[in-house]
């Protein structure tokens, strides 16, 4: 009876979400579940249950309730490289199973690609989506999740996986040396930080400081307590890429302010050069992380992992060994694994060199479009949004060299959001029906359309 009541309540809640909640807030639901429950939440540590799966299903249902649900397929087919990547992914599933890979492993590998493609389709095929509201929600959710991190820091739950809120606290000493892992959700501390930073870069007024600094401060606290080296690399990429983009934009416009911006960039470069010498040098720490036998996660183990994967792929380097394929993991005494800390090598194992080039090409094309828009945009809020999205995507791509974030649920959803925003389709009704053009999600270029004769 209790189960029936809970089920009925859940159905009513879903109905209310579909009917009354805007699509932007529905898209935020899976991000909420990842930030607060982790990617692999287990109900009672027995029943595998990913609430973000169900919540993303709500997103798709909400989108299907709109007109032209076929547009989700259309935007994929119109993006040739993405359509080819999807077709190759499906073929890799069949290829991997044919070579003896477990079906469950193949489905697990392709699921993150499905998240990426589905999120792309929802964003790209929704011309009236309020991207500013959506990104503001992502930043707010991430900042609020610091409360969870503070709880885990103050009340350690034990050094094990699949525990309270899908977090693991590894105590390596005391104070800030405690490392809190959020099972993938901590990547949003990096990605969400890009938008308050871009806000400060574009609008350095007092009013904007009051709105951006609190969120950025909370996110930085989360980064400090997570103490994950890859996250800090991604954060550094975001900061320096934004400085570079803004400097290039000001130089292109011929503004006098370019001298001050380039001066700041030069000072930061000098400070970085001095930081690698003397007593504050990080080099001894890095050398220790590469040292053999470092039980705290030596980066030399990542090199051994790379060599084992490349040897396993062998002559199948063009198309890989299919979804679900595995190789002997040197980090865990040769046990078979399909995971690799380098996201690009992970894709190389599954889909080979062709798959890697296709995927990198999709992301590179997206970054190129964002760059050209940033060089031409004039509206301040759009500048903030595009600058944050481009720098966050660059940070995600760089940190995925040492920790596989492109092909986990959190990274796949964000990447789909970024690429979808880049290719968002605007629909204009004419007397002959509908015409489509790919343009900025925030600005419609009215010169791209001409009135059709009656």
- Measure the CA–CA gap between 350 and 109, rounded to whole angstroms: 8
User: Where do the structural domains in the chain lie, given as residue ranges?
Assistant: 71-129+310-364+405-454
Contacts of 389 (CB under 8 A, 6+ apart): 135, 194, 370, 418, 421, 422
Smallest Cα–Cα separation from 126: which of 196, 26, 222? 26
- Measure the CA–CA gap between 244 and 343, rounded to whole angstroms: 26
Q: What is the 3-state secondary structure (H, E, C) of 79-133?
A: CHHHHHHHHHHHHHHHHHHHCCCCHHHHHHHHHHHHHHHHHHHHHHCCCCCCHHH
Smallest Cα–Cα separation from 39: which of 153, 138, 166? 166
Write down the pLDDT at residue 179.
67
Outline where DSSP puts E strands in 147-226: 168-170, 179-181
Write down the pLDDT at residue 16.
77
The helix or strand, by DSSP H or E, that contains position 376, with its residue range, turns out to be helix 343-376
* Residue 63 and residue 72 in contact, taking contact as beta carbons nearer than 8 Å: yes
Q: Which two tokens stand for residue 253?
A: 């416009």
* Residue 36 and residue 145 in contact, taking contact as beta carbons nearer than 8 Å: yes
Write down the pLDDT at residue 174.
42
Smallest Cα–Cα separation from 393: which of 367, 412, 371, 369? 367
What is the widest separation between alpha-carbon atoms in the chain? 77
- Measure the CA–CA gap between 331 and 292, rounded to whole angstroms: 12
Write down the pLDDT at residue 392.
97
Write down the pLDDT at residue 369.
94
* Residue 185 and residue 225 in contact, taking contact as beta carbons nearer than 8 Å: no
Give the Cα-Cα-Cα angle 399, 404, 409 (nearest 5 degrees). Answer: 110
Write down the pLDDT at residue 232.
84
Q: Which two tokens stand for residue 147?
A: 């409360």
**Ordered mean pLDDT values, 10 residues apiece, the chain (454 residues):** 59 75 90 80 56 84 81 91 96 94 91 94 90 93 87 66 54 52 80 92 73 88 81 89 84 59 62 59 58 55 88 93 93 88 96 97 96 87 93 95 89 95 63 44 38 35
Smallest Cα–Cα separation from 299: which of 328, 341, 333? 341
- Measure the CA–CA gap between 414 and 119, rounded to whole angstroms: 8
Strand, coil or helix: 225: helix
Write down the pLDDT at residue 1.
47
Write down the pLDDT at residue 210.
75
Write down the pLDDT at residue 450.
37
Half-sphere exposure (CA, 13 Å, Cβ side) for 401? 10
* Residue 31 and residue 412 in contact, taking contact as beta carbons nearer than 8 Å: no
Q: Which two tokens stand for residue 218?
A: 């909370």
For residues 185-209, b (16+ Cβ closer than 10 Å) or e, as one string? bbbbbbbbbbbbbbbbbbbeeeebe
Write down the pLDDT at residue 272.
66
Write down the pLDDT at residue 5.
62
């Amino acid at each position: 009876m209790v189960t029936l009541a809970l089920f009925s309540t859940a159905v009513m809640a879903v109905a209310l979400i579909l009917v009354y909640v805007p699509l932007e807030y529905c898209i935020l639901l899976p991000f909420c579940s990842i930030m607060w429950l982790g990617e692999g939440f287990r109900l009672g540590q027995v029943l595998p249950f990913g609430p973000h799966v169900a919540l993303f299903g709500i997103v798709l249902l909400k989108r299907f309730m709109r007109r032209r649900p076929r547009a989700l397929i259309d935007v994929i087919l119109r993006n040739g490289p993405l359509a080819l990547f999807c077709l190759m992914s499906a073929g890799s599933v069949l290829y991997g199973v044919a070579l003896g890979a477990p079906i469950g492993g193949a489905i697990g590998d392709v699921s993150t690609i499905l998240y990426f493609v589905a999120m792309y389709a929802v964003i790209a095929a929704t011309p009236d989506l309020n991207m500013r509201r959506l990104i503001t929600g992502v930043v707010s959710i991430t900042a609020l999740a610091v409360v969870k991190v503070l709880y885990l820091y103050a009340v350690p739950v034990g050094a094990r996986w699949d525990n309270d809120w899908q977090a693991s606290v590894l105590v390596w000493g005391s104070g800030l040396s405690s490392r809190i892992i959020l099972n993938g959700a901590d990547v949003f501390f990096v990605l969400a930080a890009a938008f308050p930073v871009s806000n400060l870069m574009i609008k350095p007024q007092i009013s904007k400081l009051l709105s951006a600094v609190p969120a950025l401060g909370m996110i930085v606290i989360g980064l400090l307590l997570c103490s994950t080296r890859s996250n800090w690399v991604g954060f550094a990429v975001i900061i320096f890429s934004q400085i570079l983009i803004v400097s290039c934009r000001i130089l292109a416009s011929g503004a006098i302010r370019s001298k001050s911006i380039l001066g700041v960039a030069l000072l930061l470069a000098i400070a970085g050069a001095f930081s690698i010498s003397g007593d504050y040098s990080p080099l001894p720490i890095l050398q220790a992380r590469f040292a053999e036998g470092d039980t705290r996660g030596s980066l030399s183990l990542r090199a051994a992992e790379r060599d084992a994967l490349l040897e396993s792929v062998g002559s199948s380097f063009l198309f890989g060994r299919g979804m679900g394929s595995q190789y002997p993991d040197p980090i865990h005494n040769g046990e078979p694994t399909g995971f690799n800390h380098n996201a690009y090598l992970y894709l190389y194992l599954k889909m080979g060199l062709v798959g890697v080039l296709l995927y990198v090409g999709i992301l590179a094309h997206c970054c190129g479009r964002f760059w050209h828009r940033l060089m031409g945009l004039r509206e301040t809020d759009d500048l903030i949004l595009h600058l944050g999205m481009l720098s966050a995507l660059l940070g995600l791509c760089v940190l995925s060299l040492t920790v596989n974030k492109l092909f986990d649920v959190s990274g796949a959803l964000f990447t789909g959001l970024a690429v979808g925003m880049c290719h968002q389709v605007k629909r204009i009704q004419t007397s002959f029906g509908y015409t489509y053009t790919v343009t900025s999600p925030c600005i419609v270029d009215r010169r791209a359309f001409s009135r059709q004769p009656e």
